[in-house]
Amino acid sequence: MKLRWGLLDAVVVVFALLPVLWIVSLSFKTTATLTDGNLIPREWTLENYRTIFQTDQFVRALVNSIGIALISTTIAVVLGTMAAYAVARLDFPGKGALVGVSLLIAMFPQVSLVSPLFDIERQLGIFDTWLGLILPYITFSLPLAIYTLSAFFKQIPWDLEKAAKMDGATQAQAFRKVIAPLAAPGVFTSAILVFIFCWNDFLFAISLTSTERSRTVPAALSFFTGASQFEDPTGAISAAAVVITIPIILFVLFFQRRIVAGLTSGAVKG
């Protein structure tokens, strides 16, 4: 019995990791052995990594990716925390509408915004800028943040807030001094989820940018050519792919439990 479960586990692990291992392996292969089909490179090289970090194209995209994802995450989590607190704790007309709107946006077909945003951003002069990507990223991660956070906030022992208010704190003070520290783990979890979303986006990244000024790594990858036009970019693309996968792997390794809790609390318990 134990063996059978163990076997199933092994199948799951292999199924989940094989594509990742394959691209890691490609990234360490030399140009000559790139097409040998071996999972373990016969000749190891760091050449591909050296290449991408020497090209402005990749470094610039990496800076864009990190900057845009961090700014979007920060803003989305701050706005999301405020709204989630209100949803979880306060009684006010329009609460149902807010929850409904976030649900609608979670299901919104993002490609429907590509044409109109393209035109609007061109007119406003924010096409191909960080702001042009940050705005849609915040919008589409807000529902995720609001759902996850309000689920967390509902589990906080709110008597503490009452106690603080009894001691003379206003509602705003009670929020800042008592509840915020308790809510920090939830906020952190939703920040991870939002960051993963912004980091992964491809559709907006490729349609609302046109130059290295704001192109993020996923978009830049699809324009990659080797050092010269005639060089096969496979090795370089693989290396760049591995680099942007590292933060995700780290998140998953260190915060597995929290990510699972955040994803499921947001979607099932509401």
Partner 1 sequence: MTVRVSEGKRAERRLGWLLCAPAAIVMVAVTAYPILYSVWLSLQRFDLKFPDEREFVGLSNYITVLSNEYWWTAFGVTMLITVVSVAIELVLGMGLAVVMHRTLVGRGLVRTSALIPYGIVTVVAAFSWRYAWTPGTGYLANLFSDGAPLTERASSLAIIILAEIWKTTPFMALLLLAGLALVPDDLLKAASMDGATAWQRFVKVTLPVMKPAILVALLFRTLDAFRVFDNIYVLTAGANETSSVSMLAYNNLLRGLNLGIGSTMSVLIFISVAIMAFIFVKLFGTAAPGREEGRR
Per CB under 8 A, contacts with partner 1 among 239-258 are 241, 244-245, 248-249, 251-253, 256
Torsion, Cα 129 145 94 90, to 10 degrees, reads -130
Which amino acid is present at 211? T
Which residues contact residue 259 at a Cβ distance below 8 angstroms, ignoring those fewer than 6 apart? 189, 192, 193, 251, 252
Q: Based on the shown chain and the rule CB under 8 A, indicate whether residue 71 belongs to the binding site for partner 1.
A: no
- Tell me which stretch binds partner 1 (CB under 8 A): 49-57, 96-104, 155-163, 183-191: 96-104
Q: How far is the CB of 148 from partner 1 (least distance, A)?
A: 13
CA distance 244 to 70: 14
DSSP string, 44-99: B--HHHHHHHHSHHHHHHHHHHHHHHHHHHHHHHHHHHHHHHHHHH---TTHHHHH
23 contacts 48 by C-beta, under 8 angstroms: no
Q: Which of 28, 49, 58, 85 binds partner 1 (CB under 8 A)?
A: 85
Using CB under 8 A as the criterion, what x/- string covers residues 120-139 for binding partner 1?
Answer: x--------------xx-xx
Binding residues for partner 1, rule CB under 8 A, total 97
Q: How far is the CB of 130 from partner 1 (least distance, A)?
A: 15
Restricting to residues 20-59, which ones interact with partner 1 according to CB under 8 A?
Answer: 20, 22-23, 26, 34-35, 37, 39
Nearer CB in complex with partner 1: 18/227: 18
CA distance 244 to 43: 23
Q: Which of 32, 53, 54, 100 binds partner 1 (CB under 8 A)?
A: 100
